[in-house]
Amino acid sequence: MTLPTAVSPSAQPSGPPPPGDEAWWKSAVVYQIYPRSFADSDGDGVGDLRGILGRLDHLHDLGVDVLWLSPVYPSPQDDNGYDVADYQDIEPVFGTLADFDELLAAVHARGMKLVMDLVVNHTSDEHPWFAASRGDGPGGPKRDWYVWRPARDGMEPGTPGAEPNNWGSAFSGPAWTWDEASGAYYLHLFSPKQPDLNWENPEVRQAVYAMMRWWLDRGVDGFRMDVINLISKEPGLPDGPVTGGAPYAGGLAACMGGPRLEEFLQEMHREVFADRPQRTLTVGEMPGVTVDQARRHTDPGRRQLDMVFQFEHMGLDQDGDKYTPKPLRLTDLKASLGRWQSGLDQVGWNSLYWCNHDQPRIVSRFGDATDEPSRVRSATMLATVLHLHHGTPYVYQGEELGMTNAPFTRIEDYRDVEARNHYAHAVAAGADPADVLAGLAAMSRDHARTPMQWTAGPNAGFTTGEPWIAVNPDHVRVNAEAAVADQTSVYHHYRRLIALRHDEPAVARGRFEMLLPDDERVYAFLRHDEAAGVELLVLGNFTGSAAEVPLPAGWAGAELLLGNVPDPAPAATTVTLAPWEARIHRRTVST
C-alpha cells in the first residue's frame, strides 16, 4: 500500500494565522527529560519528579526555554510510560500530583515552560477505558473505543494468519492480539499492552480533548504528541505490502497520515487550543511524514500543529531495517535536511533534533566518541550544525554533556521492550545472536536511557540505590559537574549556542541556504536575515581529518561568532578546518 497523502475534504483550507499567535517557540530551545533516567530523589533506582525539581538550576543555567517531560502518568511501564493507564494522575514511582504542581510552579518561576507528552494513539491495556471496552462486548457503550475485529473468515482464532489483516506491530510480531474473554482481536500498533484507540468514535476524541484541557487548566504549556499521525486508520483496515520476506506488513506504514488526520488535528485545535489564555507549543511526532504533509500540518493558517518531528534524517544510516546500520553519507544528510529547510520555508516550521529517548547517542553515531578530544570536538560540531538550522532545536538529556552509547554486550543488559522482543524474534527465526546484539549495540533505544551523568561518583550521582538500567562507566569523565567546571566542555558550547539563538535574531529567522551539497566532508550553509542585513556562515567538518573548503565571496576576514577549536584559522578565500571543527561567522550586508 502506498502511504496515504490524501487530505480529508472536511479539513479546513489555509487562512491567516490565528490572532495573537506570536510563535514565541521560534526563538526557543526545548530540553527533553526522560524522567525514569534523569534524577532519583528517593533512592529506589528510578528517576522522579522531585529529582527533576532538584536539578532545575542545571537546566536554567543551560538557558533552555521549555522542558518536555516524557510520560509521567500511571502506567504498568511496559513501554516505560508510553502505555498510559490513567491520563489524569501521576505514576507513584514518579511522585504525586502535588509534586507535579510544585515542579510546574518552579519551572514557571525560572521563566521556563513545561510541555507534557500526550500518548493518545493508544492507551495501556490496564486503562479503565480498555477494561470497559473488553468487558462490554459487541454493542456495549465503550466497545467501540478500541479497534476490535473477528478472525479472518474460516480461520481458527489465535492461530498464525487468522489475524484480521497482515499488519505487524512496531515491537515485532502481529499488530493484533486475540482476546479470549471478549472473543475478538484488538489492534495494537505497538506492544499487546498498548491497544490502539478508535479515533473514528467522537466520544473518544472528546474524552481526549477534555483531558488535554484539564492539563492546560493546571498550567502546562503544551504537548508533544506521540505518533500522532497514526490516529486515523484507513477504512476497512486493508492488508499492506509485505517486503523482503518479512512475516508481516508494516503496521505503522499502513497508518501514517491517514484520511482523517488533518480533520482530527483541526478539531483538536478548535476544541483545546483556540481560546486558551496561555501561548502553547504543540509538536507532533510523525514517523514517515513527508515534507508536503508537514508543511500542511505546520501552516499556521491551517490551525493544526506548531511543528512536527520528522524521521528522514534518522534513517540515513540504516540499511532497510532499523537494526542494520550502514555508514552515513554526509551528502545524503545535507540533501535530506536541506529539503526540509526549503520545504518548510515561509509557511511551516521545522523541529531540529539529533537525539531523543528512541535514538542512540549522536556523538557515538555521527561523531567520534573513541577518544576524549574527538568526543568533545565532534559533539560540539554536531550541536553547532543542528542549532544553526532554521527551526526549533531540541536537546535530549545528557546530549549537552556529550553522553555516549552504553557499552552493552549481553541481551540481559537491555531493558527496552522493543530491543528484547526484536532479539527474541530474530533469534527464534534463526539469526545469529551475535549479529542481533551488534545491531542493538548500534541502534538500541536504551543508549538514550542510561542514567543522566551528574557526577564522577557512585551511579553518576543519579541514585543512591540500584539504578533500573546500568550507568555508563564513562561517567567518571563525562558528567555534569566536570562539564560545568570546564569552559571548553560540550556543556558550555551548548550554553553558548542557546544564548546565541536568544541574542542574534538571524539564528531564529534567517533564510537558510545550503552550500557545498556535494562535499562529503564539510557541512556548510548560510543564514540570511534580510530584515537586519545580517548573514551567518556555518561550517562543520564531519571527519576526523583536516578539510579545506572554499568560502563564498565576501567572507574573508569575517567575524567569528562561535567555534569549537582554540585559535581557528581566520576566514579567507579558503579555510582549512581542523578535525571535527565547527564555526559560525557573521557579517553585515547592505539591505
Active site residues: 226, 285
Nearer residue to ligand NOJ within complex by CB, 222 or 300: 222
Q: Shortest distance, CB of residue 190 to ligand NOJ, whole angstroms? A: 4
**Interface with ligand NOJ includes 82 (CB under 6 A)?**
yes
Q: Which of 94, 185, 190, 408 binds ligand NOJ (CB under 6 A)?
A: 190
Q: Shortest distance, CB of residue 170 to ligand NOJ, whole angstroms? A: 7
**Interface with ligand NOJ includes 119 (CB under 6 A)?**
yes
Contacts with ligand NOJ, 330-369, as mask; x by CB under 6 A: ---------------------------xx-----------
Nearer residue to ligand NOJ within complex by CB, 190 or 512: 190
Size of the site for ligand NOJ (CB under 6 A): 9
With contact defined as beta carbons under 8 Å apart, do 107 and 56 qualify?
A: yes
Q: What gap in Å lies between CA 371 and CA 424, rounded to an integer? A: 34
Angle (CA) 47-172-94 rounded to 5° is: 15
**Interface with ligand NOJ includes 538 (CB under 6 A)?**
no
- 392: part of which helix (H) or strand (E)? strand 392-396
Q: Shortest distance, CB of residue 388 to ligand NOJ, whole angstroms? A: 26
**Interface with ligand NOJ includes 225 (CB under 6 A)?**
no
Angle (CA) 330-333-336 rounded to 5° is: 150
**Interface with ligand NOJ includes 227 (CB under 6 A)?**
yes
**Interface with ligand NOJ includes 78 (CB under 6 A)?**
no
**Interface with ligand NOJ includes 474 (CB under 6 A)?**
no
DSSP 591: -
Output the residue with the shortest Cβ distance to ligand NOJ.
Answer: 82
Stretch 259-298 residues interacting with ligand NOJ (CB under 6 A): 285
Q: Whose CA is closest to 261, among 4, 571, 22, 579?
A: 4
With contact defined as beta carbons under 8 Å apart, do 262 and 304 qualify?
A: yes
Nearer residue to ligand NOJ within complex by CB, 119 or 506: 119
Q: Shortest distance, CB of residue 390 to ligand NOJ, whole angstroms? A: 24
In what side-by-side order are the strands of the sheet with 307-309?
307-309, 281-285, 222-225, 113-118, 66-69, 30-33, 392-396, 351-352
Q: Residue 535 forms beta bridges with which residues? A: 528, 587
Residues in contact with 217: Cβ distance below 8 Å, sequence separation at least 6, in sequence order? none
Q: Whose CA is closest to 389, among 458, 450, 341, 329?
A: 341
Cell of 575: 579555510
**Interface with ligand NOJ includes 79 (CB under 6 A)?**
yes
Q: Shortest distance, CB of residue 357 to ligand NOJ, whole angstroms? A: 6
With contact defined as beta carbons under 8 Å apart, do 457 and 392 qualify?
A: no
The crossing angle, in degrees rounded to 10, of helices 261-268 and 202-218 is: 40
**Interface with ligand NOJ includes 396 (CB under 6 A)?**
no
Q: Shortest distance, CB of residue 32 to ligand NOJ, whole angstroms? A: 10
Q: Shortest distance, CB of residue 392 to ligand NOJ, whole angstroms? A: 18
**Interface with ligand NOJ includes 196 (CB under 6 A)?**
no
Nearer residue to ligand NOJ within complex by CB, 263 or 446: 446
DSSP 544: S
- 253: part of which helix (H) or strand (E)? helix 251-255
Nearer residue to ligand NOJ within complex by CB, 355 or 522: 355
Interface positions with ligand NOJ (CB under 6 A): 79, 82, 119, 190, 226-227, 285, 357-358
